[in-house]
């Protein structure tokens, strides 16, 4: 048996993620609660407590209705359940767009109350000033460009971006501005592959793709989508597990046992 003391586990830091530009792909997943986060933590570099939790966990139609308190609650649970991944908490709609001061107040609240390592907010060029304000005051920011679900009402739904090449300069400008403002990485969501490749080639910070091809510096998926728990996962999701079917089977077996008095048995009874 080794007499060496166990090495303390250190959390991945923002500069370590930043330094992965063009290097080993960055593994990211969402998680919203402690037990799944503990599993994800053993394999991912970065865990996002995404505001997608409004749709996935709370049955909302879009992410627009997610309140700040909900992000704090789930953020805390994920930080408690993890040791090594960098935990990033999403700023929900309405908590940062008004201006840098409001964004700072709310982002500082999220960081203090959850213990997360960074926040994420949606928007490119229009968020440059806010990203600079936050990063200069000690709040690391992950940006999010391309398809930005909080703007789905303006965009007319969840639409793939960049199909028309004339729109590319605006997306490239978004990436340039958020990087220059100090974001340490940028989620690129729902864009066509050649645009994702251009953004990744031109942007000095790591791009983390979701529905944006293998051209990005890293990938992120919503955990429930890749586990087979979402009824209709988007085209860009690869489903790695069939948890929905497993839960169905288990619940069906439990219900049958209870009805036939097959549960509990001797093994589950206190004597
Ligand atoms: O809210 C979320 O889960 C996200 C990811 C899909 C990137 O923003």
Residue 219 phi/psi, 5-degree rounding, is: -135, 150
Q: Whose CA is nearest to atom 2 of ligand 1?
A: 50
Per-residue pLDDT band for 158 (boundaries 50, 70, 90) equals confident
pLDDT of residue 2: 61
> Which H/E stretch holds residue 208?
strand 207-210
Tell me the per-residue pLDDT of 99-143, one tens digit each, with 9 for 90 and over: 999 999 999 999 999 999 999 999 999 999 999 999 999 999 999
Q: What is the dihedral of CA 243, 244, 250, 253, to 10 degrees?
A: -150
What pLDDT score was predicted for residue 188? 98
In ligand 1, the atom with minimum distance to the C-alpha of 48 is: 3
CB atoms within 10 A of CB 115: 14
Ligand 1 centroid, distance to 88 Cα (angstroms): 11
- CA 185 to CA 205: how far, in whole Å? 5
pTM for this model (two decimals): 0.95
CB-ligand 1 contact for 210 (6 Å cutoff): yes
| Best CA proximity match to 217, nearest among 240, 192, 185, 239 | 185
For the annotated catalytic residues, the residue numbers are 189
pLDDT higher than 80, residue 6 = no
Atom 1 in ligand 1: residue holding the nearest Cα: 50
Q: Domain map of the chain by residue range?
A: 14-240, 243-271
Give me the pLDDT at residue 1, please.
58
Residues 6+ apart with CB under 8 A from 226: 29, 233, 237, 238, 239, 240, 241
Give me ligand 1 centre to Cα 51, in Å: 6
Determine contact, residues 68/110, Cβ cutoff 8 Å: yes
* Topology, domain 14-240: TIM Barrel (3.20.20)
Q: Is 222 in the pocket of ligand 1 (CB under 6 A)?
A: yes
Q: Please tell me the residue having the least CA distance from ligand 1 atom 4.
A: 50
Ligand 1 pocket, residue 187 CB under 6 Å: yes
Model pLDDT for residues 49-97, shown as the tens digit of each residue? 999 999 999 999 999 999 999 999 999 999 999 999 999 999 999 999 9
Which of 33, 44, 123, 149 is the best mutation target for the ligand 1 pocket, counting ligand atoms within 8 Å of the beta carbon and taking the most?
149
Q: Where are the alpha helices (DSSP H) in 93-242?
A: 100-114, 128-136, 152-155, 168-181, 193-202, 223-226
């Amino acid at each position: 048996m080794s007499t060496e003391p166990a090495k303390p586990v250190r959390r991945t830091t923002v500069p370590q993620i930043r330094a992965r530009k063009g290097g080993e792909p960055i593994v990211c997943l969402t998680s919203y609660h402690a037990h799944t986060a503990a599993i994800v933590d053993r394999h991912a570099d970065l865990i996002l407590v995404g505001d997608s939790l409004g749709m996935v966990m709370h049955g909302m139609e879009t992410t627009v209705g997610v309140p700040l308190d909900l992000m704090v609650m789930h953020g805390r649970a994920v930080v408690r359940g993890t040791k090594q991944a960098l935990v990033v908490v999403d700023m929900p709609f309405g908590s940062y767009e008004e201006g840098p001061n409001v964004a700072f107040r709310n982002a500082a609240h999220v960081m203090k109350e959850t213990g997360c390592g960074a926040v994420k907010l949606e928007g490119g060029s229009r968020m440059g000033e806010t990203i600079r304000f936050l990063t200069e005051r000690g709040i690391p920011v992950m940006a999010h460009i391309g398809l930005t679900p909080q703007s789905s009402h303006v965009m007319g739904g969840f639409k793939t971006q960049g199909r028309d090449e004339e729109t590319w300069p605006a997306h490239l400008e978004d990436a340039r501005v958020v990087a220059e403002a100090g974001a340490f990485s940028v989620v690129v969501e729902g864009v066509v592959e050649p645009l994702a490749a251009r953004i990744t080639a031109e942007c000095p910070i790591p791009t983390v793709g979701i529905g944006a091809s293998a051209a990005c510096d890293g990938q992120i998926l919503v955990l429930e989508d890749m586990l087979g728990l979402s009824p209709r996962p988007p085209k860009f999701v690869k489903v790695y597990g069939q948890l929905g079917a497993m839960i169905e089977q288990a619940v069906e077996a439990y219900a049958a046992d209870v009805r036939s008095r097959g549960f509990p048995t001797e093994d589950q009874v206190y004597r």
